[in-house]
Amino acid sequence: MEKFDVTVIGGGIVGTAVLDRLSRYQLKALLLEKCDDVASFTTRANSGIVHAGYDCEPGTLKAKYNVLGNPLIWKEAEELDVPHLKCGSIVVVGEDGLDGLKELERKAKANGVEVQILDREETLKLEPNVADRIAYSLYAPTAGIVSPYQMAIGYADRAVSNGAKIVLEAPVTEIRSKGGEYILSTPKGEFSTRLVINCAGAHGADINDLAGAEHFETTYRRGDYFVLDSTERKNVNTVIFPLPTAAGKGILVAPTADGNVIYGPTAIDTNDSEDVASSLDSLDVLRASVPLTYKRPAFNKCIRVYSGLRTLIGHDFVIGKSKLRENFIMAIGICSPGLTSAPAIADEVLSMAQETLHAEKKAEYVTVMPRHKRIKELSEEEIEKLIAEDSRYGRIVCRCEKVTEGEIVDAIHSPLPATTVDAVKRRCRAGMGRCQGGFCGTRVMQILSRELNIPLSEVKKGLGANIARYRVKEVE
Ligand SMILES: Cc1cc2nc3c(=O)[nH]c(=O)nc-3n(C[C@H](O)[C@H](O)[C@H](O)COP(=O)(O)OP(=O)(O)OC[C@H]3O[C@@H](n4cnc5c(N)ncnc54)[C@H](O)[C@@H]3O)c2cc1C
């Protein structure tokens, strides 16, 4: 059985950020993830907004980590070469909404967040397409957008580059204690560890129960989205919110860091920890809500719908050391603004872990990751030079997103390798465009089959799903 100093359970944005911090120390650090890639659950399906932090209740953990996390995300997205844009956000209201904005302004002041109330004329200068009824907005210049899954993948890649280990398809099914250590059972074997850090998202409370730590009741709230074609990007400059309610920040219209536009999310309460199927009813809610803030809804430009699941344990994040189990740290119930908060949560969790581990910092570790070669972003001269070095950068595989064979091969051989069609998609966008992989899906499968040296029938879509069962001519 392999022994580790510290094991993180769960490879979402929180777990990968924690592993990233741990990997800078002289430690044997491990991350166990249930799925076949990191960022496969909530971190894959959210709004991708780097929140400013004006709407969190002052004094909560959400307010604390949101405000601390915001500048860290901007800095680390640069270091990890993850798509991001500090485009600002506006909360827009009609004539009767000014009091609501003033209440947000009060919270912003208490949280130390810069905001400004704008009238209609000033709002239109930032965002010409707000709905005609909009009279005021609250502008937060430090808000923006980031690719949430690429952020988690970036943390994972950096952690692996710094010597941490990630085991995928390794759901923790049992936790027992032996000789002052925890033994974690997974289908990939057993792992022994001095310290456990629970970052298991929707299943965080289950992991606590397995370890005999504090018991928490969990509820969930699904959010459904429309994704619009990149041709809509020119119509949206900032993140446009309505006034927040008890159910959340409301249905936004926002650009994505990768150049699309999203409308969403809904807020559907559910007890099902796997409920991520969009329903027609909730898409109708989006159809009715978007025109209230935005005057150019383009539902006919929708290229996809998706859903994400908020995990709620009470009204705040649960971050801290277990009082019932020694050497067991929890970072669970991380609902919105968990993406923005993740780097600050990770710093806090590292300090808690160090109370047990007392590890020395490594003399050297990677901070700035090598830049990705994204053909779409390069000049003609740069592309010509790259193709002269490696002709695979001259072969476009994904026509919609202009992704080349070279970029797909890079994704497959990255520090945390992409081994499925979806994992390739999340790393380099092959299959994320208008045709959603209709043209390039089989080419990506062939490249995966060749690079991983596995038969085509073993190439998975993601989350264990098979695509091809066998070659037609192989069937008797
Ligand atoms: C609709 C929606 C919109 C949101 N929008 C924003 C936003 O714009 N900005 C923002 O800051 N935040 C936003 N959030 C919040 C943010 O997405 C989450 O806070 C964040 O993704 C949670 O990350 P996590 O790592 O805790 O959980 P997850 O990403 O779910 O990761 C947990 C991981 O643990 C793994 N796991 C579970 N059980 C086990 C096990 N037994 N063994 C091993 N691994 C296990 C899972 O497979 C998963 O990969 C939004 C959330 C939702 C749902």
Ligand 1 mutation target, pool 336, 340, 341, most atoms within 8 A of CB: 336
Cβ(10) – ligand 1 distance below 6 Å: yes
Residue 388's Cβ-count burial label (10 Å; 0-12, 13-18, 19+) is exposed
- In the reported structure, the alpha carbon of residue 12 is separated from the centroid of ligand 1 by a whole-number distance in angstroms of 5
Q: What is the pLDDT of residues 259-288, one digit of tens each?
A: 999 999 999 999 999 888 888 999 999 999
- In the reported structure, the alpha carbon of residue 334 is separated from the centroid of ligand 1 by a whole-number distance in angstroms of 7
Cβ(313) – ligand 1 distance below 6 Å: no
Residue 123's pLDDT is 98
As a whole number of angstroms, the distance between CA 215 and CA 208 comes to 7
As a whole number of angstroms, the distance between CA 170 and CA 410 comes to 24
Which residues form the catalytic set? 51
Does residue 434 sit in helix, strand or coil?
coil
Residue 102's pLDDT is 97
Share of the chain above pLDDT 90, in %: 92
Residue 470's pLDDT is 77
Give a three-class secondary structure readout of the chain. CEEEEEEEECCCHHHHHHHHHHCCECCCEEEECCCCCCCCCHHHCCCCEECCCCCCCCCCHHHHHHHHHHHHHHHHHHHHCCCEECCCEEEEECHHHHHHHHHHHHHHHHHCCCCEEEEHHHHHHHCCCECCCCCEEEEECCCEEECHHHHHHHHHHHHHHCCCEEECCCCCCEEEEECCEEEEEECCEEEEEEEEEECCHHHHHHHHHHHCCCCCCCEEEEEEEEEECHHHHHHCCCEEECCCECCECCCEEEECCCCCEEEECCCEEECCCCCCCCCHHHHHHHHHHHHHCECCCCHHHEEEEEEEEEEECCCCCEEEECCCCCCEEEEECCCCCHHHHHHHHHHHHHHHHHHHHCCCECCCCCCCCCCCCCHHHCCHHHHHHHHHHCHHHHCEEECCCCEEHHHHHHHHCCCCCCCEHHHHHHHHCCCCCCCCCCCCHHHHHHHHHHHHCCCHHHCEEECCEECCCCCHHHCC
Cβ(336) – ligand 1 distance below 6 Å: yes
Indicate which residue's Cα is closest to atom 35 of ligand 1.
10
Cβ(11) – ligand 1 distance below 6 Å: yes
User: According to CATH, where is 1.10.10 located in the chain?
Assistant: 375-471
- In the reported structure, the alpha carbon of residue 380 is separated from the centroid of ligand 1 by a whole-number distance in angstroms of 39
Residue 468's pLDDT is 84
Cβ(49) – ligand 1 distance below 6 Å: yes
Q: What is the pLDDT of residues 372-431, one digit of tens each?
A: 999 999 999 999 999 999 999 999 999 999 999 999 999 999 999 999 999 999 999 999
Cβ(198) – ligand 1 distance below 6 Å: no
Cβ(196) – ligand 1 distance below 6 Å: no
Residue 168's Cβ-count burial label (10 Å; 0-12, 13-18, 19+) is buried
As a whole number of angstroms, the distance between CA 106 and CA 11 comes to 36
User: According to CATH, where is 3.30.9.10 located in the chain?
Assistant: 89-141+220-308
Q: Confirm if 463 and 36 have CB atoms less than 8 A apart.
A: yes
As a whole number of angstroms, the distance between CA 116 and CA 97 comes to 15
Cβ(204) – ligand 1 distance below 6 Å: no
- In the reported structure, the alpha carbon of residue 406 is separated from the centroid of ligand 1 by a whole-number distance in angstroms of 30
Ligand 1 mutation target, pool 7, 35, 47, 278, most atoms within 8 A of CB: 47
**Ligand 1 nearest-atom number relative to CA 265:** 1
Beta strands 219-228 and 268-270 are antiparallel
> Residues 457-464: what's their mean pLDDT?
88
Residue 245's pLDDT is 84
- In the reported structure, the alpha carbon of residue 269 is separated from the centroid of ligand 1 by a whole-number distance in angstroms of 16
Cβ(249) – ligand 1 distance below 6 Å: no
Q: What is the pLDDT of residues 461-472, one digit of tens each?
A: 888 788 887 777
> Residues 358-365: what's their mean pLDDT?
98
User: According to CATH, where is 3.50.50.60 located in the chain?
Assistant: 1-83+143-218+313-371
Cβ(156) – ligand 1 distance below 6 Å: no
The pTM (predicted TM-score) of the whole model is: 0.97
- The structure tokens listed for 286 are 């989006």
Residue 227's pLDDT is 97
- In the reported structure, the alpha carbon of residue 226 is separated from the centroid of ligand 1 by a whole-number distance in angstroms of 19
Res. 292 pLDDT band, cuts 50 70 90: very high
Indicate which residue's Cα is closest to atom 31 of ligand 1.
12
> Residues 343-359: what's their mean pLDDT?
98
Does residue 312 sit in helix, strand or coil?
strand
**Ligand 1 nearest-atom number relative to CA 16:** 25
- In the reported structure, the alpha carbon of residue 461 is separated from the centroid of ligand 1 by a whole-number distance in angstroms of 20
Does residue 457 sit in helix, strand or coil?
helix
Indicate which residue's Cα is closest to atom 26 of ligand 1.
201
**Ligand 1 nearest-atom number relative to CA 173:** 41
The answer on pLDDT for 476 being more than 70 is no
CATH of 375-471, one of 2.60.40, 3.10.450, 1.10.10, 3.30.1380: 1.10.10
CB atoms within 10 A of CB 188: 12
Total residue count of the chain as it appears in this document: 476
Cβ(14) – ligand 1 distance below 6 Å: yes
Residue 473's pLDDT is 72
Beta strands 29-32 and 2-9 are parallel
- The structure tokens listed for 262 are 């999203």
Residue 204's pLDDT is 98
Averaged confidence pLDDT in the chain: 96
The answer on pLDDT for 154 being more than 70 is yes
Phi-psi region of 390 (alpha: psi -120 to 50; beta: other; left: phi over 0): beta
The CA-atom distances, in angstroms, between 179 and each of 31, 183, 330 are 22, 10, 22
- In the reported structure, the alpha carbon of residue 134 is separated from the centroid of ligand 1 by a whole-number distance in angstroms of 33
Q: What is the pLDDT of residues 58-70, one digit of tens each?
A: 999 999 999 999 9
Please give the CATH architecture assigned to the domain spanning 89-141+220-308. 2-Layer Sandwich (3.30)
Residue 14's pLDDT is 98
SS3 content of the chain, % helix, strand, coil (to 5): 35, 25, 40
- Matching residue, tokens 């997205």: 77
Cβ(46) – ligand 1 distance below 6 Å: yes
Please give the CATH architecture assigned to the domain spanning 1-83+143-218+313-371. 3-Layer(bba) Sandwich (3.50)
Indicate which residue's Cα is closest to atom 28 of ligand 1.
12
Res. 474 pLDDT band, cuts 50 70 90: low
As a whole number of angstroms, the distance between CA 435 and CA 188 comes to 36
